[in-house]
Every structure is written in C-alpha cells, then in structure tokens.
Chain A
Amino acid sequence: MSAEAGKFDPMHQFTVEPIAKLFAIDGREVWLTTSAVWMAAAAIILWLFMLGGMKRQLVPGRWQMAVEGFTGFISSMMSTNIGSEGRKYTPYVFSLFMFILFCNILGMVPFALGGLHPLTVTSHFTITGVLAVLSFAIVLVVGFWRHGLHFFSLFVPHGTPWPMIPFIAPIEFVSFMVRPFSLGLRLFVAMTAGHVLLEVFANFIVQSSGAGAAIGLPVGLASMALMIGISALELLVAGIQAYVFALLTSLYINDAVNLH
C-alpha cells in the first residue's frame, strides 16, 4: 500500500487496475487490465521456458533437464493416478500445473515497476474458478463420452449395501458437485491469505520505523526476519498449491475414465 493513503489496507494489492480500453461489445467495454497483463506475462515466460528446453538433445543440458523434470513429474503423476489412459490428459494437466505455478511465482516477485506492482492472478476467484470449471467440464465430457448414462454409477460406490443407496447417493452427488468450488476456492484463498500475511508484516516494518529506536528496531528487525521466512514459505505454498490443483484434477479425471 502507498504511504500517502494513510490507512493500512491489506486488500488493496488485489485490485485489478484497468490499463487501456480495447473495444466495446453492445455498450459493454472490454479493458486490458493488470490481471490480463500478468497472465500474458506468465504465459510468455512459460513459453520461453518450454522453448529453451524442448531441443530434444540426446545429452540434455541444464535447461532441458529442468523442463524434463517438470514433464516427467506430471506424466508420472498421471500414469500412477489414471494408468495408461492418463497419457491423453497429460498435456492439459501439465499446462494447468505450469500456468498456475508461473502465475503464483510471478505474484511473489518483490518489486514494483512504475506503479505496476505484481498482481497474483491466482488470488482472484474469477481466474481460479474458470480453471476449476474447465477441469470439471473435462471430467463431465469424458465421463459421459466413455460411459454414457452409466457414469451415474459414480454416485454409488462398489459394494454399497442396497438399503444404504438412498443415503450414500445424495452425499456422493453433493461431494461431486462441490468439486469445482473447492478446487477453485483452495487455490484462491491460499494465495490471498499468503499475500495478506506478507502485507501485514511489511506494514509492521514500515510502522515500526516511526516508533523510535528502542521499540522500532527490535520490532522491525523481527518482522523483517519473519517476512523473509514467510516469503520462503509462500514460494513453497505456490508450488504445493499448483501441485494440489493438478493432482486433484488428475484424480477427478481418473473418476471419469475408470469410474470407481
């Protein structure tokens, strides 16, 4: 937050600023926003990263090893969770994982260029919700495509005693329908919470500078040390949340491919 604003507002960092008006459809204006710019930046950096590593040399260099580490990680996750059928869905889950990972990490970049502070794109439910709905739509399409109406047997797990079916089926149905929300919500809230925490500690450092050396120095130094630790934790969370999103997507696709 800016110093001249006076009041401390940890949610200010999440505001999406308009940059330029692109066009209007039927009186509704479509703007280029900071959110779009950071998503484009993540996509371009991801593209460059992949481009540098996809040379397919027999003896891979460092860069190729890094890219192959990621691809191998995701494809082994898909084959353990889904089986041999999982290969078909690896490109989608890989793009999902890498895009979320790059968005999360770009949001952690600790500088502001000319008022353009890093915006964590994944801290908005509109973005994570769309990604989650995309995963959910793939599950529905694949499930109905492969199994037809037999896909509804997903709501009745194997070996359910028949008197229990009226109770189990609604529960399974609710837990199935809540998946896109929980998937999108988890990523969005985890990123938001981490950035609010960082903002609060950054505010402690700024405020302690006005409290004199006796109180300000210990408080400021302790906050600074904590902030470095929390930044490292946030990098870990950025990776874990991207992994969890990809892992849960692969599990949901497994339900659609193999039923259960």
Chain B
Amino acid sequence: MDAQAATLIGAGLAAIGAGMAAIGVGNVFGSFLESALRNPAAADGQQGRLFIGFAAAELLGLLSFLIAILLYLKAA
C-alpha cells in the first residue's frame, strides 16, 4: 500500500470520530430534554450547563474532523 492510500484511509478512519461525537451531542440534548420534560420549571436554569456539555462533546468531534481534513489535504 502506498503512502497516499494509507493517508486517505487514515482520514476516513479519523472521520469515524465525528460520528461518535454525534452520538455524544445527541446524548447531551436527549438527556436534557428527558429531564426537562419531567421538571420543566428547572429546565431554564440549566441551559448554561447544557451548552457546556454540548461544547465539550462537540469539540472532540471537531478535533477528529480536523485530523481527517489535515490527512485528506496532505494526500490530495
């Protein structure tokens, strides 16, 4: 396998992380909604924490996207 092909496969593998982060972000919002519907009065006060969790989960997906695009641009 030549180096370019390996780089492109690596870019594809790195992109899996973006999908994993999608699960994480879905988990954050899903859990928030689940508990917000149980206690709607307390939901508004937790919006800051919701977005902190969202930002943390999203960052990891964006990092894997970054690695993927760096590898892709290196190969292309």
> Which partner residue on chain B sits nearest A81 by CB separation?
B48
Assess whether A240 is interfacial by the CB under 8 Å rule.
yes
Assess whether A97 is interfacial by the CB under 8 Å rule.
no
Which chain B residues border A251 with CB–CB below 8 Å?
52
Which chain B residues border A259 with CB–CB below 8 Å?
none
Chain B interface bracket (under 10, 10 to 19, 20 to 34, 35 or more): 10 to 19
Q: Helix, strand, loop or mixed for chain A's interface?
A: helix
> Which partner residue on chain B sits nearest A186 by CB separation?
B59
By the criterion of a CB under 8 Å from any partner CB, how many residues of chain A are at the interface?
18
Which chain B residues border A193 with CB–CB below 8 Å?
62, 65
Check if B62 sits within 8 Å of A185, measured CB to CB. yes
Assess whether B32 is interfacial by the CB under 8 Å rule.
no
Residues in A230-259 with C-beta less than 8 Å from chain B: 240, 243-244, 247-248, 251
Assess whether B28 is interfacial by the CB under 8 Å rule.
no
Check if A248 sits within 8 Å of B52, measured CB to CB. yes
Q: What are 14 A-B contacts defined by CB distance under 8 Å?
A: A81-B48, A185-B59, A185-B63, A186-B55, A186-B59, A189-B65, A189-B66, A240-B51, A240-B54, A247-B48, A247-B51, A248-B52, A248-B55, A251-B52
